[in-house]
């Protein structure tokens, strides 16, 4: 079995919980309780939205997914900062919010467009000496974290309510929206945290095409997306001998009409054999699905 699933993760369960459920669903469907399953970027338990998951041999294609851009909507809450930079942490600072903050916000947001240095929050899955930061944070331990560079492609203000702004954010992988909200507050001179968070897109996976775990359980086959629909490689078909050589790890002649560096390779029965890499007039196996 090979393919991707665009899961709508509800608020509450962890990403690992959702992955475990997909393993049960597709393990039963494929009659393979050891089926490989992996996600393409976690979501915090309190966040909802797109959680792409690779099923079966598609887990080997994850490194080939070059589009890792993310899209979110969130609420920026001013006047209060928390230990976790979201609504679930303990309050560590509060202040009155001045009446002109809404007029000042667009100019401040412009400062965060482009390359941005960001320090991962203590309540995150980043590892320090083999331990997750959130495990250390729960013990009251704070450690120095390595600053990382992220890219914010755009921030749009969707509306205001009291001391809260609704934002739509397009950014690179590795961006912590909680930290971004906290940093925007600092730029405004105010404590701030992130309220609700919804992931609207993750690379080629978008919100309106996502399915709930219940919908996937009802029809696992319909929810499974072929790799060609996610990774923009063309497909070539090899004859019986060519596909046998390819499966054996041998270089084969390039079929006529193939021009891309990487291609999906199928045999005459249209079974996905693997991913090939072009070297002039030859096609070498890069990923082989035996």
State the Rg of the chain over Cα: 23
Q: How far is CA 237 from CA 2, 9, 58, 205, 226, in A?
A: 18, 36, 19, 27, 16
Q: Provide the 10 A C-beta neighbour count for residue 205.
A: 25
Residues 6+ apart with CB under 8 A from 129: none
Q: What is the H or E stretch that residue 215 is in?
A: helix 213-218
Catalytic residue among 32, 44, 100, 162: 44
Query: How sure is the predictor about 24, in pLDDT bands with cuts at 50, 70 and 90?
Result: very high
Q: Provide the 10 A C-beta neighbour count for residue 23.
A: 19
CA distance 252 to 283: 5
Residue 238: what pLDDT?
Answer: 92
Asked if 16 and 53 count as a contact pair (C-beta separation under 8 A), the reply is no
pTM value?
0.88
Confidence check: pLDDT of 128 > 60:
no
Query: How sure is the predictor about 254, in pLDDT bands with cuts at 50, 70 and 90?
Result: confident
Q: Provide the 10 A C-beta neighbour count for residue 174.
A: 15
Better-scored residue on pLDDT, 33 or 52: 52
Q: Which whole number is the average pLDDT over 121-140? A: 63
CA distance 64 to 275: 10
Place of tokens 């482009």: 114
Residue 135: what pLDDT?
Answer: 67
Q: Which whole number is the average pLDDT over 125-150? A: 68
**Domain 2-65+206-229 CATH superfamily:** Pseudouridine synthase (3.30.2350.10)
Confidence check: pLDDT of 172 > 90:
yes
Confidence check: pLDDT of 229 > 80:
yes
The rounded percent of the chain whose pLDDT value lies above 70 is: 91
Residue 145: what pLDDT?
Answer: 67
Residue 69: what pLDDT?
Answer: 93
Residue 280: what pLDDT?
Answer: 84
The residues spanned by each domain of the chain are 2-65+206-229, 70-202, 235-288
Confidence check: pLDDT of 141 > 70:
no
Looking at the domain covering 70-202, what would its CATH class be? alpha beta
Query: How sure is the predictor about 143, in pLDDT bands with cuts at 50, 70 and 90?
Result: low
Fold equal for 2-65+206-229 and 70-202? yes
* Span 174-228, pLDDT tens digits: 899 999 999 999 999 999 999 999 999 999 999 999 999 999 999 999 999 999 9
Domain 235-288 in CATH 2.30.130.10: yes
Residue 157: what pLDDT?
Answer: 97
* Span 73-127, pLDDT tens digits: 999 999 999 988 899 888 999 999 999 999 999 999 999 999 999 877 666 566 6
Give catalytic status of residue 239 as yes or no.
no
The rounded percent of the chain whose pLDDT value lies above 90 is: 72
Asked if 290 and 251 count as a contact pair (C-beta separation under 8 A), the reply is no
Confidence check: pLDDT of 250 > 90:
yes
Residue 68: what pLDDT?
Answer: 85
């Amino acid at each position: 079995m090979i393919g991707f699933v665009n899961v709508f993760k509800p608020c509450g369960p962890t990403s690992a919980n959702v992955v475990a459920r997909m393993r049960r669903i597709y393990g039963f469907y494929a009659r393979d309780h050891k089926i490989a399953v992996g996600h393409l970027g976690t979501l915090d338990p309190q966040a909802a939205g797109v959680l792409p998951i690779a099923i079966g041999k598609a887990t080997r294609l994850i490194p080939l997914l070059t589009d890792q851009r993310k899209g979110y909507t969130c609420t920026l809450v001013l006047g209060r900062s928390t230990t976790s930079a979201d609504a679930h942490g303990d309050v560590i600072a509060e202040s009155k919010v001045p009446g002109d903050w809404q007029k000042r916000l667009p100019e401040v947001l412009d400062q965060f467009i482009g390359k941005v240095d960001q320090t991962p929050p203590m309540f995150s899955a980043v590892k320090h000496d083999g331990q997750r930061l959130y495990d250390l944070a729960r013990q009251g331990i704070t450690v120095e974290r390595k600053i990382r560079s992220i890219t914010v492609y755009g921030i749009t203000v969707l509306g205001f309510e009291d001391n809260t702004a609704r934002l739509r954010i397009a950014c690179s992988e590795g961006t912590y929206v909680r930290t971004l909200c906290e940093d925007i507050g600092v730029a405004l001179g105010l404590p701030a945290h992130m309220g609700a968070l919804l992931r609207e897109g993750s690379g080629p996976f978008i919100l309106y095409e996502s399915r709930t775990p219940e919908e996937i359980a009802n029809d696992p086959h319909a929810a499974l997306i072929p790799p060609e629909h996610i990774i923009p490689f063309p497909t070539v078909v090899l004859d019986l001998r060519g596909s046998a050589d390819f499966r054996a790890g041998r270089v084969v002649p390039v079929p006529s009409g193939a021009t891309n560096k990487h291609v999906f390779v199928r045999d005459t029965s249209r079974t996905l054999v693997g991913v090939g890499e072009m070297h002039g007039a030859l096609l070498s196996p890069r990923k082989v699905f035996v």
